[in-house]
Copies of this chain bind each other. A is one copy, B any other.
Amino acid sequence: MPAKTGEAREPRTFTETARREQIVRAAVDTLAELGYADTSLGKIARTAGLSSVGMISYYFAGKAELMSEVVATVLATAEEIVAPRVAAESSAVARFRVYVEASLEWVAAHRTEAVALIEITVGSRRPERSDDMEVGATEIVADLVARAQTELASRRESSGDPGPESIAPHVVAVAVRGAINGAVGHSLRRRPGPGADPELAAEGARLAELFVRGL
């Protein structure tokens, strides 16, 4: 009975950690391939090369916990890529631009993970931390947007150009997040199956430019 996660941080043995990772990876693949509705523990077990479905139940307290772990794991890898690149920029506008670019690059390189994330977010009604994730992401973007707008406004002010009125950061943030997710879906429709999509990465700069102009 190892699992039980969420409550206490029990020490994890090596094999347990390895197995959990293996299962999470298989879950990601299965979600991306079949969609949330057709993803069952049995299919995941088969994908993982496990003989019994019970093995998953042995390492995870239930389907919900597995899905939560998938969300947490995938989000962590995404943040690992995006966050430092954003932090490295010195101007607010650059930070916003890099967020969009880096997000699309991550999504291009980890399309499978991105699809899995979206599947869980949309497919599952019970909030398994995935709602929080989209909410959290949107708030982060809204903050980036607000700062970029302030920066732009002060630049214009010094040049005597009033410029157009700012669009509510929150609206821009929702649009940005939607555009990123939409790009993933579009990519999957254009080029089904697993693997990266270089075209997607190339869209990053253009998408960033699109939104920067809109600020």
Contacts and interface: CB of A to CB of B under 8 A. Distances in A.
Interface of A: 1, 33-38, 42, 45-46, 51-53, 118-119, 121-125, 131, 134-135, 138, 164, 167-168, 171-172, 174-183, 185-186, 189, 203, 206-207, 209-211, 213-214
Q: Tell me whether chain A's interface is mostly helix, strand or loop, or mixed.
A: helix
Given A206-B171, A210-B171, A35 B122 contact: yes
A122 B122 contact: yes
Contact of A178 (B51, B182, B206): B182
A33 B131 CA distance: 15
Given A37-B36, A125-B38, A171-B210, A46 B182 contact: no
6 contacts: A35-B123, A35-B125, A36-B123, A38-B125, A118-B122, A209-B214
Contacts of A207: 171, 175
B214 A211 contact: yes
